[in-house]
Structure 1
Amino acid sequence: MKWIFLSYSMPTKPSKYRVQAWRQLKRLGAVNFQNVWAIPHAADKLKDLERLAEDIRTWKGEAFLTVGKPLTEDDEKRLLAAASAASDEEYGELLHVAEDFLKEIEMEIERKNFIFAEVEENEEELAKIKKWLTKVEKRSVCDAPLRKVTMEKIRLCDKALEDFSQMVFDHLHAKGSA
């Protein structure tokens, strides 16, 4: 597999540029492996990293960008394992947020808080979760073990919100206040 590798160094002050570079690398799905950032080769990713390397130099840093392949199968496996672990970490956090969403729905049902504002609030929260999922999937470079369970949990969130919305609808119509 062909990869793009970026090695860079930057002055410690101001730290905002180092943070900006790190955020851009993470947003792209790059993984830090043995102090070198790596991402599977793709034309759009290469353009993004070329811009970042240019920015790093503008910020008085040094950047070295290259394209290549690990020389051994073992190194390739270790690089893929690092990428998988990075993706798994993100899916794990997303899984946690989805579980919290389900707990929130359960709590609203227990409190019989059947008002439209709660439906709307939870719709917005689920939309945020799905937007985050889209970002995670876009930058995930290989299969993450937690991907499947996270996707299933988000499907459960969809179902829970649908059921809760129906309960609110039924409650408001029973009261004649819909």
Structure 2
Amino acid sequence: METIHWLLLTYKVPPDPAAQRIAIWRRLKGLGAVYLQNGVCVLPKTDDHVRRLKMIERDISQAGGEGVILETVALDKAQEDKVVARFKADRDDQYREFIGKCEAFQAEIAKEFAIEKFSYAELEEEDADLTKLQGWIEKIRKLDFYGGTLAEEAAESLRACEQALDGYAKRVFDAHVENADRSPPGNEDETPQ
């Protein structure tokens, strides 16, 4: 088995202003970094991560803090597994939240069916929400360096959302065809608004 190489960033920033500390934390979490403890995080070693960590380290210095970036490997397989498990746990937390949002999306579609609200406006709103879910899972997948255990369940949840929206769209289109068929005589030549 190939040894995993990580980039380890250890840093300290002044407590004030808190916005700087939070911004650095957000950027590191946005890269998929795992914190081993306060001010110590790791990322898989890639050229992109090297470049981004160097930029963050520069920003830490500009904020009056200190940062050091090291390339490292685990002492043994057990230690490596612990770090990989932390990455998987972080991604599974994100997948779990994503799955919850998918469940809420499907419940919203079910509610629209229950109240028979088959409008184009609602369909557009639901379509926009699905697009957000699709973008969100792609962001999680980009950070899923070691294959989170909930990745497939999240993908299945997204597929269920897509199917639910397809079913809802069909019902919206059918409802509008039914309504057009019931329009009063003499309006056949009118262009729908």
TM-score, shorter chain, exceeding 0.5: yes
Aligned to 2:44: 40
Name the structure 2 match of 1:133: 137
- Which of 11, 14, 22 does residue 14 from structure 2 map onto? 11
Which structure exhibits the higher relative contact order, with contacts defined as CA atoms closer than 8 Å and separated by 6 or more residues? 1
Is 1:76 the counterpart of 2:56 in the alignment? no
**Residue type at the aligned position of 2:138:** T
Q: Deviations over 1:145-166 (max 9, x none)?
A: 1111110010010010011000
> Aligned partners of 1:154 and 1:34: how far apart in 2?
33
Q: Is the aligned partner of 1:25 residue 2:53? A: no
> Partners in 2 of 1:48 and 1:31 — Cα distance?
15
Secondary structure of 2:9's partner?
Answer: strand
- Name the structure 1 match of 2:113: 109
Equivalent residue letter for 1:63: G
- Tell me which residue corresponds to 2:163: 159
Secondary structure class of the residue paired with 1:144: coil
For residues 140 and 11 of structure 1, what CA distance do their matches in structure 2 show? 31
Larger fraction in helix: 1
Match of 2:70 in 1: 66
How far does residue 142 in structure 1 lie from its aligned partner after superposition?
Answer: 1.1
Separation of aligned partners in 1, 2:144 and 2:30: 10
CA contact (8 A) 1:39 1:141 kept: no
- The structure with more radius of gyration: 2
Paired positions, count: 178
Q: Which residues of structure 1 form unaligned runs of 5+?
A: none
State the superposition RMSD in angstroms: 1.0
Q: Residue 20 of structure 2 aligns to a residue in which SS? A: helix
Q: Find the aligned partners of 1:162 and 1:55 in 2 and give their Cα distance.
A: 46
- For 2:104, the equivalent position in structure 1 comes to 100
Shift of 1:70: 1.0
Name the amino acid aligned to 1:158.
E
Could you tell me which residue of structure 2 aligns to residue 122 of structure 1?
126
> In 2, Cα distance between the equivalents of 1:76 and 1:4?
13
TM-score (norm 1): 0.97
Percent identical: 31
- Cα distance in 2 between the residues matched to 1:71 and 1:145: 25
Matching residue's letter, 2:108: E
- Residue identity opposite 1:159 in structure 2: Q
Letter of the 2:30 counterpart: R
Shift of 1:143: 1.1
User: Structure 2: 5+ residue runs without aligned partners?
Assistant: 184-191
How far the C-alpha of 1:34 sits from its partner, in A, is: 3.7
Q: Does 1:56 align with 2:72?
A: no
> Shift of the alpha carbon at 1:94?
0.5
